[in-house]
Structures are given as C-alpha cells and as structure tokens.
C-alpha cells in the first residue's frame, strides 16, 4: 500500500477520521497501533479478504510467502519492552549489560538471518573456492521483510538509551508498541528516536495544533517528487544502467545524474509524505533531508542526506566504537568502520560495502584536506568555495553508480536480483572519461529538464518559493492545490514502482 496510491488515501481517511473522533488518548493509541499493524500486514498478506478465507479454511499452501512477517515486528517490540524493564530493574551493571546484549543479539540476529545469511554464506563459499577449497554450500530462499532495517534500529535505540540512562523505561506496552510500529515511518523511515517520539505519545494530541495547509502542501510536494519526477527520471536512469557500455561520457553524465534525481526524489518524497501524514495525526517525525546536493563537502552531505540514519550511526555506532577519543588513526578507523557498516545496512551486497567505503574514504580525505588548508589564503578559499559544491556532487554521483548496481528487490519473486559489478565498472568508466565509446542517446531536452529541476531545487533551498502560499487565503490555497493535483495526475505512470528504500 504505497503512499501514492488511492487505496492509501482511502485507508488514511478512515484512520484520520476515527483518530480525531476518539476523545481518549489511550483509545487513539490503540486505534493507531491496530491501523499500523494492518498497514504493515498489507505488504505481505495481499488481499485481506482472500487471505482470511485461506486462513480460516486451513489452506496454508495458498497463503502468500512471508504472511507471518508481522510477527517479527511484534517479537522485536516484545523483546525490547522486556529489555527496558530488565535494565531498569537490574541489580548490577553486569546485569544491565546482559539485558542490553540480549536486545542487540535479538535485533541484529533478525537482520543477520533475513538480510545477510545468504550474503555471508555465498561470500564464504566464493572465498573458499578461490583458495581451492571447493564447497557445496547452498543459499536459502529467504524473503526480506519490508522495513526490518528501520524498525530494528528504532527498537535498539530505545534499549540503548535506557541503558545509557538517557530515557526512563516505558511501563505500558502500548506506548512502546505504538512508537515502534507507527505506520507513516514504519517501512522506510525516517528512523525515529524513542527520546524524541515517546514524549509525544504520552501527551494527548490537539487538533488545533495541526497545520493542515502545511501538511497538505508537504504531502503534495512528496507526491510530485515520487510519482512524477522520480518515475520520470527512472526511465533514463534504467536505460543507461541497462547497457552503460553503449554510452559516451556525455550520455553517462546524464544517465547518472538522472539516477541522482531519481533516488533523491524517491526517498525524500516518501519522507515528505510520511512527515505530512504523521503531522495530520498530531505527531512530529524527524527531518531527513536538507538539500544535500548543495553540500560543499562530503561531511556536509552526510549532515543533510538521510539525517536520521547518519545521526543514528554517529550516536550509536561511531561513538560506541570510540569516536574521535584517541589518535588520528584510531578516529579514522572508527569512521571507516561506521561507513562500511552503514553501507552494509543498506543491503547484502559488496556493492553497498564499496559505496560505504568510498564515502568513508572521502570523509577521511576531507578531514585531512581541512587540516592542511586551514591557513590557506583568501583567494584560494574563494576558488575552493566555487568548486566545492560541484566536486562534492560529482563524487556523490560516482558512489551512486555502485549503489545503483547493487541487488534490487523483485516484487514477483520476492528475491534480491543483482545488476552486477561489471555494469558498475562500465558505467564508472563512461562517467569518468576512461571508457565509453558509444553515443549520448539522450536528447537536448533531457539536459534542459535536469537544468530546470536543479533551478527549482536551488530556488527552494534559498527559501524563494517555499512560503509564498502561506500568504494566500484558505480558499485560494485550496483551489491552487487542487489545480496542482489535477496537473500532477496527468504525469503519473499507470503503475508505480515501489519506493527504492523499501528494499532496505
């Protein structure tokens, strides 16, 4: 049930109406908890009436693959609820650590089994074959549950914060279950911290505090990003990555740039709609994007891109490894490990590890560059300021090549399908002038579209077109929004692609 589908709008209309009709805060949370698990179950059970008919008649072979995955979400919730109470009631520091370890083992174990078992097994088998020890290890037909990487990180953040004494353990199971399963951010983020969300759960939401106009506008912007811009850009990105060796440098630039547009509009569009949906119910989610392609360094990029993940990795992984509390080599080791594991978080593929490693290397180089040029002259700084943004964007696009070539989720087979490193290598050669003797195969209009998108994005980053509609009367804003929706519907595809980050 994608946010851009009309059936989601029907689902949300029901959830929205009942939520605000209920007077009790507890009743509202029970309703949203039920709605969230129903929303999540719809990703696995297919048509609810058909599923229930098969289930009541005991036709287990007819049930969709992975129909029981919502139980994994319940298991993670129950585990960390018990862990929170266990840490609070522990009689010694050793017992507190044992409780925390139980949470880490359980949550990371779920990720390892569903997401990384086949990856580690096939990698080990390939290594043994390479050294001459032939094996007969067989991978399993494991289906990846939607959103498992997101809700396990949320669940772990609760246990870690309780262990660090930054958060009091939740006494009512309802409150924690609602926090972990809240449907707007459940399957693709943003990754919400218990410290920021749970205080909202304890207080009754007030309709008067809801910015309806702002929420409707933000949802519409997210819809346009995903349903119009991302879907349009994906046509050219898919065309290039299907056969990158056929393109010259100009064609490779356009193909990779279109993918940069696609993944940004796809993921930030989902985030916009998730934030707007949550706000309409009275809850505030975490900011996840802040115009990352206008970053002047790779360090700044990670302060602006997927903010909820980058801050999670910083606070719970990088700092736990030791952070910068040591020698320069120690700090850079921690930084590289964090980015490598951050890449692996995105998926079970060496492509993602390479992607994370490239970003880790860039972060280290930027730190050294900053140190070496801290006493540079004013002219050098001005030149650097002009080149910083395009150079950063270019490097980000280089790393996107490996990200795009990684395995993607196939809805029909429910398995990950690899594009292959050979495609990544061919695309990289064409993108960096070292290969690609083919043709551009993209019209001049494509370049114009990219330029127009970049201009609109830049104007919005400068807050030039972001708030003027606030000055309009309600009736004028409603008419304008209705016209915008009507025009946008003319450009939406017949069938939407799943959100890219659903596979993580």
Residue range 243-252: average pLDDT?
82
Examine residue 246 and state whether it is found in any structural domain, yes or no: yes
Annotated active-site residue 346? The verdict is yes
Examine residue 12 and state whether it is found in any structural domain, yes or no: no
Q: Are strands 415-417 and 408-410 parallel, antiparallel or unpaired?
A: antiparallel
Examine residue 162 and state whether it is found in any structural domain, yes or no: yes
Using left for φ > 0, alpha for ψ between -120 and 50, and beta otherwise, residue 286 falls in beta
Residues 231 and 170 in one domain: no
Q: Is residue 427 within 8 Å of residue 405, measured between CB atoms? A: yes
Residues 164 and 219 in one domain: no
Number of neighbours of residue 458 by Cβ within 10 angstroms: 13
Query: Hey, what are 111's tokens?
Result: 């990720």
* 164-208 per-position pLDDT tens digit: 999 899 999 999 999 999 999 888 879 998 999 999 999 999 999
Query: Residue 142: what are its φ and ψ, rounded to 5°?
Result: -100, 130
Say yes or no to pLDDT of 465 above 80: no
For residue 416, the 8-state DSSP code is E
Examine residue 450 and state whether it is found in any structural domain, yes or no: yes
Residues 301 and 369 in one domain: yes
Examine residue 87 and state whether it is found in any structural domain, yes or no: yes
Residues 297 and 166 in one domain: no
Say yes or no to pLDDT of 419 above 60: no
Residues 145 and 225 in one domain: no
Residues 120 and 249 in one domain: no
* 84-108 per-position pLDDT tens digit: 999 988 888 999 999 999 999 998 8
DSSP collapsed to 3 states, 8-57? HHHHHHHHHHHHHHCCCHHHHHHHHHHHHHHHHHHHHHCCHHHHHHHHHC
- Is-cis flag, bond preceding 434, omega within 30? no
Range of the domain at 96: 30-133+141-181
Residues 251 and 291 in one domain: yes
Q: Which residues of 17-48 are buried (b: 16+ CB within 10 A; e: fewer)?
A: eebeeeeeeeebbebbbebbbbbbbbbbbeee
Residues 167 and 272 in one domain: no
Residues 265 and 401 in one domain: yes
* 112-142 per-position pLDDT tens digit: 887 777 777 776 666 666 666 666 666 566 6
Confidence of residue 438 (pLDDT cuts 50, 70, 90): low
Examine residue 21 and state whether it is found in any structural domain, yes or no: no
Residues 176 and 51 in one domain: yes
0.85 cut: is pTM over it? yes
**Could you give the CA distance from residue 66 to residue 361 in angstroms, rounded to a whole number?**
38
Catalytic one of 346, 359, 366, 422:
346
Examine residue 187 and state whether it is found in any structural domain, yes or no: no
Sequence-distant (≥ 6) Cβ neighbours of residue 454 within 8 angstroms: none
Higher pLDDT, 455 or 21: 21
For residue 453, the 8-state DSSP code is H
Residues 70 and 219 in one domain: no
Examine residue 310 and state whether it is found in any structural domain, yes or no: yes
* 134-170 per-position pLDDT tens digit: 666 665 666 777 888 888 999 999 999 999 999 899 9
Q: How many domains does the chain have?
A: 2
**Could you give the CA distance from residue 266 to residue 248 in angstroms, rounded to a whole number?**
27
- Cα pseudo-dihedral 79, 80, 83, 84, rounded to 10: -150
Number of neighbours of residue 67 by Cβ within 10 angstroms: 16
Using left for φ > 0, alpha for ψ between -120 and 50, and beta otherwise, residue 495 falls in beta
Residues 242 and 375 in one domain: yes
């Amino acid at each position: 049930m994608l946010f851009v589908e009309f059936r989601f709008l029907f689902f949300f209309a029901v959830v929205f109406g009942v939520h605000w009709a209920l007077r009790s805060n507890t009743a509202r949370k029970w309703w949203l908890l039920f709605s969230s698990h129903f929303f999540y179950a719809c990703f696995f059970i297919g048509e609810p009436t058909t599923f229930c008919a098969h289930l009541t008649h005991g036709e287990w072979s007819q049930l969709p693959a992975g129909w029981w995955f919502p139980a994994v979400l319940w298991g993670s919730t129950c585990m960390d609820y018990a862990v929170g109470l266990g840490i609070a009631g522990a009689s010694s520091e050793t017992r507190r650590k044992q409780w925390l370890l139980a949470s880490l083992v359980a949550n990371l174990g779920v990720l390892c089994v569903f997401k990384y078992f086949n990856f580690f097994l096939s990698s080990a088998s390939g290594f043994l074959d390479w050294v001459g020890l032939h094996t007969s290890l067989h991978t399993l037909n494991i289906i990846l549950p939607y959103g498992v990487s997101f809700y396990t990180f949320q669940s772990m953040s609760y246990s870690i914060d309780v262990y660090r004494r930054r958060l009091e353990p939740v006494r009512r199971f309802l409150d924690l279950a609602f926090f972990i399963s809240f449907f707007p951010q459940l399957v693709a983020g943003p990754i919400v911290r218990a410290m920021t969300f749970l205080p909202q759960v304890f207080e009754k939401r007030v309709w008067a505090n809801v910015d309806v106009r702002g929420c409707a506008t933000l949802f519409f912007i997210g819809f346009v990003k995903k349903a119009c811009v991302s879907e349009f850009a994906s046509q050219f990105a898919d065309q290039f990555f299907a056969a990158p060796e056929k393109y010259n440098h100009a064609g490779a630039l356009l193909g990779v740039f279109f993918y940069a547009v696609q993944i940004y509009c796809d993921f930030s569009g989902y985030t916009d709609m998730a934030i707007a949906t949550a706000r309409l119910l009275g809850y505030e989610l975490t900011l996840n994007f802040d115009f990352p392609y206008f970053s002047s360094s790779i360090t700044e990029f990670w302060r602006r891109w997927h903010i909820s993940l980058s801050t999670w990795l910083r606070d719970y992984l990088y700092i736990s490894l030791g952070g910068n509390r040591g020698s320069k080599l120690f700090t850079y080791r921690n930084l590289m490990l964090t980015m490598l594991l951050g890449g692996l978080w995105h998926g079970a593929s060496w492509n993602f590890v390479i992607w994370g490693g490239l970003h880790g290397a860039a972060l280290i180089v930027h730190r050294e560059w900053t140190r070496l040029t801290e006493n540079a002259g004013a002219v050098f700084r001005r030149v650097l300021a002009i080149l910083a943004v395009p150079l950063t964007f270019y490097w980000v696009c280089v790393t996107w090549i490996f990200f795009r070539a990684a395995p993607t989720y196939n809805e029909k087979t429910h398995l990950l399908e690899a594009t292959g490193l050979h495609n990544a290598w061919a695309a990289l050669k064409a993108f960096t002038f070292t290969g690609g003797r083919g043709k551009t195969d993209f019209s001049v209009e494509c370049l114009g579209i990219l330029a127009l998108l970049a201009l609109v994005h830049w104007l919005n980053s400068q807050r030039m077109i972001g708030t003027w509609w606030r000055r309009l009367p309600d009736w004028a804003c409603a008419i304008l929004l209705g016209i915008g929706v009507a025009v946008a519907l003319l450009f939406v595809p017949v069938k939407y692609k799943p959100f890219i980050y659903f596979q993580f």
